[in-house]
Structure formats: structure tokens, C-alpha cells
């Protein structure tokens, strides 16, 4: 392996050095970092990764040192960026440095590319249903594939993939009294979380908005996560073109994992996560009481990018009789983290177990989480435990209780 500094352009090296120089090495990020909490080593901390990136640009990192591994272990949860008093633009540094390095060997590039292509993913999902793969594929994968296999990790999700939605966007056609918003379809969530997208449209229309859909487009977050800058830019251009054609005044995503990438693609445009946006219109919505207890898992991007976890809690509190237990978030990540649960399945499982250990006892009636990756990853963990706890998007609960 060549020294890191020999692999990158002078312009990229200069940008990385400038971003790294923002860090004053105070360490205030460390108590908030899930990877540092898991490994307790400096190279698995934000400060350590910043130092590695800076050292690499100056040629200090020797040939043969696996810099990419420590960078790829990062969950990109952005907890460090939120906690940083400077602030350091850690997310930009991570994306720039990953893009500067060549792809890591042995990573599931084809699988990750498939996940970012909704039409292909929908076809594969259809084939899986046709072959009843959820009944047999996981057992076969465990017998034939090693634990660290990304394909095995992907196949393990088949039994917990959501069923086809029974809710249709045409169920609510109230006259619009406000502006038009575009609802982002996305890739994985566009195929496996149509229920949340359909009820988001229902709730938005009930609040007086006209809704147009932007389906079959990936935001590019997965590509950016693995350092595929060309594909990320191509997908960002598709997002901009589709939004320009939509005629909408704002873009709404039901999955907060897309939020940061969509905002980067559409600077100057209002881009919001659905729960936070709907919470701001909550006075227009009325909900039936529900005597139930739910656990609310707030994904990293909900807390650190959307930064509207409290708004989500207050929105759910509008359902009279509903008791909400919010799971702890400091230094916690379920491990889904975009492609992390496929690239590093054993590490991802360790993060997941830490989150599942915080579930209240006695068991709640429902576990709520707003990110499709978290939903699938946590559901797989519950299945391994033999726990039948129901897991769903908060939007579907809100829609069930909505008074039309």
C-alpha cells in the first residue's frame, strides 16, 4: 500500500488539512461517540480519525497502515459534530477523506450499488417474495456464508422486511389550503417503507398541504458513505432535477438518514424530516386516544442532523393516553448506519445489542423508530432474541389515530 499522501490530489489534501486543522483536540466529543464507547481506543474516536486524516495528508501515516478501516468504522452519526464547541465540520472531513482513498478491498460494492437503485431493488424484492425466501434463505446463508459476509447480513433481513403496505396515498384527498410539498421516495425506504410514505402523505394532506411524490430516486447517502463521490454527485443532480420539476416549495423525507444528503444537494431549499415538519403543523391535526406504551428509538440522524427529537416526542404526546419511553441516545447507535450493518455485521450487532438492552421492562407494546435502516436492523435483532415486539415508523401510529 502506498502512503496515503501519494494517493490524493493536492487540492483534496489541502481541503482535508484545512478541515482537520479545525479540531483543537479537546476531547469533548469522546463521551458522545458510539465507536469510542465500543472500542475505547483513540483511532476509533472522532479526534483520532481527524488526526489520522491530517497525518495522512502530510505523509506521516506509513505505507501498510490501514487508515481506511478506521475511517470506515465510523458510523457517521454526527454526534461529535453536534457536541463540538468549535465546531469542527467532521462530516465534510469524513466524506472528503473517504472519497480521496481508493475503495477498501472486500467491501460489498455490488450489493451497495443495488441498494441505491430502487427499480432493481423492487425487482429483487419481488423475486424474494415469489420464492418465499424469507422462510428459508436465512437458514441457508448461516450454513453457507461466514459471519462477516455482507450477503449473509443482507439475507438475514429478509424475514423482517415489511409486508406490502395496505395504506394508499389516495385514501386522503382533502382540499389543499397551504403550499405544495414534495415527498421524497428514496431507495431502500422507497421500496420497503411505502407504508410510512403513504401515511406521511395522508397526514400532510390532512394538515392542508398538497403533496407530490419524488419516487425511484436515491439521495446518494450510501454512495457518499463509502466514498463513491462520482455516483453521489450523479444522484444529487437527479434529486435537483426532480425537485425542480415538482413545483414544490419544500422537500420532505420520512427517513432522517437522507436529510443531510438532500440538504447538501438542494442548498437554499427547505428540506425537512417528516415528523419534525408535521409536528410544526400539529394544531391542524387531531388524534384519537390510545391506551398503550411505546418505546421511542431516536435514530442518530434524527437527533444530530434533524435535531428534532423533542418535537417528535411532543407530537406523539398529542395522542392522549399514550405513554412514551424514549431510549437513551448518548453514545448510542443501533449500528445500522447506512451500509455499516452490511459492511461490518459483527460490529453492527454489538451496537444493536447495546440499544436493545435499554428497552424498558415490562416490554412496551410497540417500538417506534423513524429510519428504515434502524427499523430493519433492530427488527432482525429482536427476531434473533425471539422477541415478538412490534416495530414500526411513528408516522404509521399517528395515522392510525388520526381523526379524519
pLDDT tens string 246-281: 999 999 999 999 999 999 999 999 999 999 999 998
Q: Is pLDDT at 175 greater than 50 in this prediction?
A: yes
What pLDDT, on a 0 to 100 scale, did the predictor assign at position 63?
47
Q: Is pLDDT at 379 greater than 70 in this prediction?
A: yes
Q: Is pLDDT at 380 greater than 50 in this prediction?
A: yes
Burial of 180 (0-12, 13-18, 19+ CB in 10 A): middle
- 394 inside domain: no
The torsion angles phi and psi of 250, rounded to 5 degrees, stand at -150, 155
Higher pLDDT, 298 or 191: 298
Q: For residue 106, give the DSSP letter.
A: T
Q: What residue ranges in 180-229 does DSSP mark as E strands?
A: 180-184, 210-214
Measured distance CA(243)–CA(204) in Å, rounded: 18
Q: Is pLDDT at 402 greater than 60 in this prediction?
A: yes
Calculate what percentage of the chain has a pLDDT beyond 90. Answer: 62
pTM across the whole model: 0.91
- 125 inside domain: no
Could you tell me if 163 and 96 are in contact, meaning their C-beta atoms sit under 8 angstroms apart? Answer: no
Which residue has 502512503 as its cell numbers? 3
- 134 inside domain: no
Average pLDDT over residues 189-199: 90
Which pLDDT tens digit goes with each residue over 93-152?
A: 998 888 887 777 777 777 888 888 888 888 888 888 888 888 888 888 888 888 888 888
Strand order in the sheet with 250-253: 210-214, 180-184, 250-253, 270-273
Average pLDDT over residues 200-209: 94
Cell of 246: 415538482
Domain of 30 in residue numbering reads as 4-100
- 108 inside domain: no
Gyration radius of the chain over CA positions: 21
Q: What is the CATH classification number for the domain harbouring 57?
A: 1.10.1060.10
- 66 inside domain: yes
Q: Is pLDDT at 9 greater than 50 in this prediction?
A: yes
- 63 inside domain: yes
Cell of 342: 452490511
Q: Is pLDDT at 1 greater than 50 in this prediction?
A: no
| Angle (CA) 169 171 187, round 5° | 15
- 287 inside domain: no
Cα 189 from chain centroid? 10
What pLDDT, on a 0 to 100 scale, did the predictor assign at position 44?
95
Which residue has 404526546 as its cell numbers? 317
Higher pLDDT, 282 or 392: 392
pLDDT averaged over every residue in the chain: 89
Q: What share of the chain is helix, strand, coil (3-state, %, to 5)?
A: 55, 10, 35
Average pLDDT over residues 208-225: 91
Domains in the chain, number: 1
Of the pLDDT bands very low, low, confident and very high (cuts 50, 70, 90), residue 207 is very high
For CA atoms 212, 215, 219, 222, give the dihedral sign. Answer: positive
What pLDDT, on a 0 to 100 scale, did the predictor assign at position 149?
85
Average pLDDT over residues 69-92: 93
- 13 inside domain: yes
Burial of 354 (0-12, 13-18, 19+ CB in 10 A): middle
Amino acid at each position: 500500500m502506498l502512503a496515503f499522501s501519494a494517493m490524493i490530489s493536492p487540492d483534496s489534501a489541502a481541503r482535508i488539512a484545512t478541515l482537520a486543522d479545525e479540531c483543537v483536540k479537546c476531547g469533548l466529543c469522546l463521551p458522545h461517540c458510539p465507536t469510542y464507547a465500543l472500542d475505547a481506543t483513540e483511532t476509533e474516536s472522532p479526534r483520532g480519525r481527524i488526526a489520522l486524516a491530517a497525518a495522512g495528508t502530510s505523509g506521516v501515516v506509513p505505507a501498510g497502515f490501514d487508515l481506511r478501516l478506521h475511517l470506515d468504522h465510523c458510523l457517521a452519526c454526527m454526534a461529535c459534530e453536534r457536541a463540538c464547541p468549535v465546531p469542527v465540520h467532521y462530516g465534510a472531513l469524513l466524506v472528503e477523506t473517504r472519497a480521496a482513498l481508493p475503495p477498501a478491498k472486500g467491501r460489498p460494492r455490488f450489493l451497495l450499488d443495488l441498494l441505491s437503485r430502487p427499480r432493481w431493488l423492487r425487482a429483487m424484492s419481488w423475486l424474494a417474495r415469489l420464492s418465499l425466501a424469507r422462510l428459508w434463505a436465512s437458514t441457508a446463508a448461516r450454513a453457507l456464508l461466514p459471519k462477516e459476509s455482507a450477503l449473509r447480513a443482507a439475507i438475514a433481513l429478509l424475514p423482517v422486511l415489511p409486508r406490502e403496505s395496505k395504506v394508499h396515498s389516495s385514501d386522503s384527498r382533502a382540499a389543499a389550503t397551504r403550499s405544495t410539498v414534495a415527498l421524497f421516495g428514496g431507495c431502500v425506504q422507497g421500496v420497503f417503507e411505502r407504508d410510512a410514505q403513504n401515511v406521511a402523505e395522508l397526514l400532510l394532506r390532512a394538515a392542508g398541504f398538497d403533496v407530490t411524490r419524488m419516487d425511484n430516486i436515491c439521495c446518494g447517502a450510501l454512495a457518499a458513505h463509502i466514498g463513491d463521490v462520482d455516483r453521489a454527485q450523479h444522484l444529487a443532480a437527479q434529486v435537483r432535477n426532480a425537485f425542480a420539476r415538482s413545483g414544490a416549495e419544500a422537500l420532505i423525507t420520512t427517513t432522517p438518514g437522507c436529510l443531510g444528503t438532500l440538504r447538501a444537494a438542494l442548498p437554499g431549499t427547505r428540506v425537512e424530516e417528516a415528523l419534525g415538519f408535521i409536528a410544526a403543523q400539529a394544531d391542524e391535526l387531531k388524534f384519537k386516544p390510545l391506551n398503550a406504551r411505546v418505546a421511542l428509538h431516536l435514530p442518530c440522524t434524527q437527533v444530530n442532523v434533524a435535531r428534532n427529537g423533542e418535537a417528535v416526542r411532543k407530537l406523539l404526546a398529542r395522542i392522549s393516553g399514550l405513554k412514551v419511553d424514549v431510549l437513551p441516545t448518548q453514545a448510542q447507535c443501533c449500528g445500522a448506519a447506512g451500509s455499516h450493518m452490511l459492511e461490518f455485521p459483527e460490529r453492527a450487532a454489538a451496537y444493536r445489542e447495546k440499544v436493545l438492552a435499554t428497552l424498558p421492562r415490562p416490554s412496551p407494546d410497540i417500538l417506534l423508530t423513524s429510519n428504515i435502516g434502524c427499523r430493519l436492523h433492530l427488527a432482525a435483532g429482536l427476531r434473533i432474541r425471539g422477541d415478538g415486539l412490534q416495530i414500526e415508523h411513528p408516522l404509521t401510529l399517528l395515522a392510525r389515530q388520526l381523526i379524519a
